[in-house]
Amino acid sequence: MELLTSLLHNVWAIFLIVLFFGGSIFVHELGHFLAARRRGVKVTRFSIGFGPAIWSHVGKDGVEYRLAWIPIGGYVALPQLADMPAIEGETEPAEQLPPVSYGSRMLVLSAGAFFNILFAFALATILWLSGRPEAENVTSTRIGFVADKITLLDGKEVASPARVAGLQEGDLITAIDGTPVKSWIDVLNAIVLSTVTDDKGERLAVFTVTRDGKPMDFRVYPRRTGDENIRKVGIDAAFELIIGKVAPGSAAEKTGFRDEDRVVAIDGKTVMSWSAFFTHFQAVTADHTTLTVMRSGAPVQIVVPMAPKARMTAIQGIELRANWRLLYQNPFEQISQILANSVRTLKALLLPQGDVGLSNMSAVVGITQGFWDALKSDYPAHFVIWFAVMVNVSLAFFNLLPIPVLDGGHMLFATIAKLRGKALPFNFIAVTQSVFVVLLLSMMVYVTVFGDLRRIVRDRKAEAQAREAAAEVQKHAEPAKP
């Protein structure tokens, strides 16, 4: 029965991924198709996917509708606007068709992105009405942990930038580089996507925080670290430490932990994040430590024995959880937030002082993994819809970039032709598009291999190591003293 349940869950998950991801592509191409039909532009093919057809049907309107083998996008063949045989195959020669006005070109080419925004707006409206769940460690902008050291890419340990700058646990971050932050995601994005430098050209992040009711500014110099080779400062968010469940018969239960305990201090020192908790816990040198938890509104002290060979044994069996709240954010705010992050990401990708590289991006595999992770979350329906909103807004933004092969590139060619008073040479357009097809496909392969797949392999390895570590702790576990 468990195997059947798991199988049905996976089938359902795959169906939702196809529905929302494939639906995003379909909506984009539908925009081109409907606008073209409305403006009298010739349509020869409507394809979801590239390459040879899995299924194909020519309708009474003369349009070939198909599903193709390579599910990395789709296209509507519009020979009057963009003759691309390298991608779409041979179609009716453009020179044998009547010309299309500049206004019709711009309308048809921008319709795909417009439909993606419409779809995103509809999904965002659902989240506005139902509320989008957010965990407290995501909504918080208060610092709950400042690391003493961070490890750089070469393995060298250095003092954390936050500690050097003077940031403290309990500081409330209100802005970074003058831009207000409303969540921990905003804080992380501000650090990673910023391109601000000081007079010497070093990456700088100016933190504006409130401490004891007073606003203060701190100049923090983020350092590159971690598997993603991005800059960090060595801080974590403050949130309530909740022990959701304690496994019956576990060492944690014998130690004295109970379901829904709120951890507030270790040996009298307040802790505001699990990073702070485990750091302080591991630093204990005595044969025991005392945790203060809130239980049913009253403080309770738990004496935790520290086994020499397995320091984490006494707390094994606890399941951590976070507080959740529903965020009612209107569709305009949701979409503008995603667009702003898209612009900052592009800026960080293109400017030399930016931290973002192609390996930090995601292609089809990464997007699919994102949908899969959303389905495994505590609120799968909400997060799948939210991820679909992000995909559609990002798809609209990406397609409008002035890059040949993309909609924005075709709009650029049309605008240049309009300004010069005659069409660009056919050979120039054909060669340019062929070059960019190769570049775009190469980029997608690179992002898939060195971005998506590398992250998936790394995450799987980390999960395996965590299971091995838990098994090792269990192996050396000693019976808890009454």
Model confidence at 314: pLDDT above 60 = yes
Residue at 439 is within a domain: yes
Q: What is the Cα–Cα distance from 255 to 258, expressed in whole angstroms?
A: 9
Q: Does residue 125 carry a pLDDT above 70? A: yes
Lowest average pLDDT, out of 62-76, 122-136, 310-324, goes to 310-324
Please report which confidence band the pLDDT of residue 91 belongs to, taking 50, 70 and 90 as the band edges: low
Q: For residue 2, is pLDDT > 70? A: no
Which 3 state secondary structure label does DSSP give 315?
A: helix
Q: Is the pLDDT of residue 473 over 50?
A: no
Question: Same domain for 116 and 152?
Answer: no
Q: Is residue 362 one of the residues assigned to a domain? A: no
Q: Which of 39-53, 56-70, 378-392, 458-472 has the lowest average pLDDT? A: 458-472
Please tell me which residue, 99 or 408, carries the higher pLDDT value. Answer: 408
Distance CA(24)–CA(30), nearest Å, equals 10
Overall average pLDDT of the 202-224 stretch: 93
* pLDDT for the residue numbered 93: 54
Q: Which two tokens stand for residue 73?
A: 């996008």
Q: Residue 225 — φ and ψ, nearest 5°? A: -160, 170
For residue 99, give the 3-state DSSP assignment.
Answer: coil
Q: 43 pLDDT exceeds 60?
A: yes
Residues 51, 121, single domain; the answer is: yes
345 assigned to some structural domain: no
Rg for the chain, CA atoms, rounded: 27
**Which of 62-76, 88-102, 379-393 reaches the highest mean pLDDT?**
379-393
Question: DSSP letter string over 27-87?
Answer: HHHHHHHHHHHHTT----EEEEEEEEEEEEEE-TTSPEEEEEEEEEEEEEEBTTTB--HHH
Q: Are residues 289 and 226 in the same domain?
A: no
Mean pLDDT value across residues 108-125: 96
Mean pLDDT value of segment 211-240: 90
| 414 shares its domain with 442 | yes
Q: Do the Cβ atoms of 247 and 319 come closer than 8 Å?
A: yes
| Joined tokens for residue 80 | 């009057």
31 shares a domain with 124? yes
How far from chain centre, in Å, is Cα 379? 16
178 and 89 in one domain?
A: no
pLDDT of residue 318: 86
User: Comparing 22-36, 61-75, 260-274, which segment has the lowest mean pLDDT?
Assistant: 61-75
Q: Determine contact, residues 80/392, Cβ cutoff 8 Å.
A: no
Could you tell me the pLDDT band of residue 339, with boundaries at 50, 70 and 90?
A: very high
Instruction: Give the span between the Cα atoms of 389 and 338, in whole angstroms.
Output: 9
* Average pLDDT across the chain, whole number: 84
100: part of which helix (H) or strand (E)?
none
CATH number of residue 188's parent domain: 2.30.42.10
Q: Does 94 have pLDDT greater than 60?
A: no
Is residue 363 in some structural domain? no
Whether 337 has a pLDDT exceeding 50, the answer reads yes
Tokens of 382: 């909400």
The residue ranges of DSSP E strands in 310-442, in sequence order, are 318-321, 324-327
In terms of domains, do 176 and 190 share one? Answer: yes
pLDDT above 90 (res 51)? no
**76 has pLDDT over 60:** yes
One domain for residues 282 and 222: no
Tokens 């960019």 found at: 436
| pLDDT in the model for residue 324 | 87
Within a domain: 330: no
pLDDT value for 471: 55
Confidence of residue 371 (pLDDT cuts 50, 70, 90): confident
Highest mean pLDDT among 79-83, 144-148, 323-327: 144-148
Q: Domain tally for the chain? A: 3
**Do 76 and 125 share a domain, yes or no?**
yes
Strands 230-232 and 223-225 come out as antiparallel
Q: How far apart are CA 206 and CA 271, in angstroms?
A: 25
Close Cβ partners of 14 (under 8 Å, ≥ 6 residues apart): none
Q: What is the pLDDT of residue 451?
A: 78
Same domain, yes or no, for 143 and 117? no
Question: Among the three residues 212, 236, 260, which one is the final residue of a domain in this structure?
Answer: 236
DSSP 320-352: EE--EEEE---HHHHHHHHHHHHHHHHHHHHST
Among 321, 341, 370, where does a domain finish? 321
348 within some domain? no
Answer yes or no: is 63 within a domain: yes
Q: What is the pTM of this model?
A: 0.81
Assess if residue 326 is contained within a domain.
no
Q: In terms of residue numbers, what domain contains 282?
A: 241-321
Residue at which a domain ends, from 306, 321, 336: 321
**163 shares a domain with 87:** no
Residues 210 and 286 placed together within one structural domain of the fold: no
